[in-house]
Structure 1
């Protein structure tokens, strides 16, 4: 989990430039998503950020595109505590660290807010302009942001989930073809005591390791 110590620096008050917030490799295509802050408004005790988002496909045969509307959430104390407990239980060798090393590890992996962005293969939409995010209770400066890039399944034109063998495209997150049969895929984290997942909306319950953390300044 050392990759989570590597973060983008994102300037919340930079209203001119596109800034990277996540890199993904889905359906064989590597792409990046960028954010441009437009403005921030305060309504009562809530903060509302207006932003634009841009997806750039870099390598891979399948075009990925933005779909739906991004959603942001500031974690409350209970959610932060749940994340901390998960780290304590699942980072190998955590109990063997000194108290100072444990706190440093928790600080490195801390998440203050999460931004959910939706993408889809075979879907050409590279930009969402001036999206007014849902109200949040705190300004973003000083927070650590995690971007959850949710991959949706292809449209039924390409992938018939109820009859995949008759599809033009076999979803590689659901199945592996072997002749006229399909092997259904499941995944689990190595070492961590959890069952194998079945397939879900976008593919698997787990995703590839993607750069998704930003420090908001």
Structure 2
């Protein structure tokens, strides 16, 4: 019984050694053949031998944030910049403004322009107007969509509608300061001496 186990172990060890030597020999033959034909296997640093990677534009090219109170009218400005050396025409639009639960806002924002034509390295300011009448407190989001030709490029707009804590001011006691600021001439006056009528 023990002899059988020893023989089995020896066979497994011998088989492993044979396979290892075979792989080493095959690797040597392969490398010799590649060197003879001047072929190189692609490596991670050899980009010419790799398929091009598809690069998607980012979800947002920028973000806008505005905090306001219910019933407030707000204007959110932003600037579109042409960073190229050729003229560009961009179309500007907006998706629906929704709260965190996906419900439509009572009033939708409006852009003051829907197209901009920019010279090389030119800029143009765009205004988003929003009337917050009937808005509940909470956070609302939408996307401004900028499109030149084939791809939408989005700007995230977040509007946080909250009651803002008001500053408290206490007017001063006027009496305290009237006594200091005014002199006795304000409160007192002297009567002119009366002339006695001349009866004689």
TM-score, scaled to structure 2: 0.23
Looking at both structures, which has the greater relative contact order when contacts are Cα pairs under 8 Å and sequence separation is at least 6? 1
Q: Which has the larger radius of gyration?
A: 2
Between structures 1 and 2, the one with greater helix share: 2
TM-score, scaled to structure 1: 0.22
